[in-house]
Chains A and B, each alone.
Chain A
Amino acid sequence: SAVISQKPSRDICQRGTSLTIQCQVDSQVTMMFWYRQQPGQSLTLIATANQGSEATYESGFVIDKFPISRPNLTFSTLTVSNMSPEDSSIYLCSVITGSSEKLFFGSGTQLSVL
């Protein structure tokens, strides 16, 4: 498995502002993803972070709201833009390492929007 570090671990933000979440992996990985975990709901895939190209977004998620960067094979950022209270959630970075076909998660970022 990989060691996946996320920063910040939690934050409280004001409506209308933006927050950038960082994800650092201790080894090169081919696939990185961003998930959202809302209270009482399933983990939902936001997008696949592609190295050197635009992220691939799932239905219901758009680049203007959740811009993602992935400058190399060990690092990615997710920005939650123009936040509203509905964006209060846990955001999780995840990776598939090598040929394991197994998905591993970071510790998550607990976001509260006032």
Chain B
Amino acid sequence: QKEVEQDPGPLSVPEGAIVSLNCTYSNSAFQYFMWYRQYSRKGPELLMYTYSSGNKEDGRFTAQVDKSSKYISLFIRDSQPSDSATYLCAMSSFNTDKLIFGTGTRLQVFP
């Protein structure tokens, strides 16, 4: 079993939809949680960063962490075609220099 599981998609939604992206993990010691967005032929771009449990909101993006269920989510409201990318979850235990990544979910938002 992988430490971090992420549905590879692709996930195809119409413009304006609410998107939910998820990861599950097995290591209860994880306490740093991140979401990266990666456009084609580009490096991953840090989108959201949370420590421990709870919610964090930034514009149209909301990150949720449920440590009791070992489950994290990224919600995108009012999705736009420019949101079309691969979204990677990442997490670590004691610091952020040894991140464990999910395989990424490819999102397509069509006009």
Contact = CB atoms under 8 A, between A and B. Distances in A.
Range for the number of chain A residues in contact with chain B: 20 to 34
B32 interface: yes
B20 to A, nearest CB: 21
Interface centre among B41, B43, B49, B88 (most CB of A within 10 A): B43
Contacts of A104: 46
Given A42-B4, A42-B102, A101-B32, A96 B43 contact: no
For the residues of A in contact with B, the DSSP-based class is strand
Given A31-B97, A43-B88, 8 more contacts: A33-B97, A42-B101, A42-B102, A43-B44, A45-B98, A103-B34, A105-B45, A110-B41
Given A92-B43, A105-B43, A41 B103 contact: yes
Interface of A: 1, 4, 6, 9, 31, 33, 40-45, 48, 92, 94, 96, 101-108, 110
Nearest to A95: B97
Contacts of A1: 46
B96 interface: yes
Given A41-B103, A43-B88, A107 B98 contact: no
B24 to A, nearest CB: 14
Interface of B: 2, 4, 8, 32, 34, 36, 41-46, 49, 88, 90, 95-104
A99 B43 CA distance: 22
Contacts of A96: 96-97
A63 B111 CA distance: 48
Contact of A102 (B4, B41, B46): B46
Given A105-B45, A106-B43, A48 B97 contact: yes
A102 B8 contact: no
Contacts of A9: 41
26 contacts: A1-B46, A6-B43, A31-B97, A41-B103, A42-B4, A42-B100, A42-B101, A42-B102, A43-B44, A43-B88, A43-B99, A44-B101, A45-B98, A92-B44, A94-B43, A96-B97, A101-B95, A101-B96, A102-B46, A103-B34, A103-B96, A105-B45, A106-B43, A107-B41, A107-B42, A108-B42
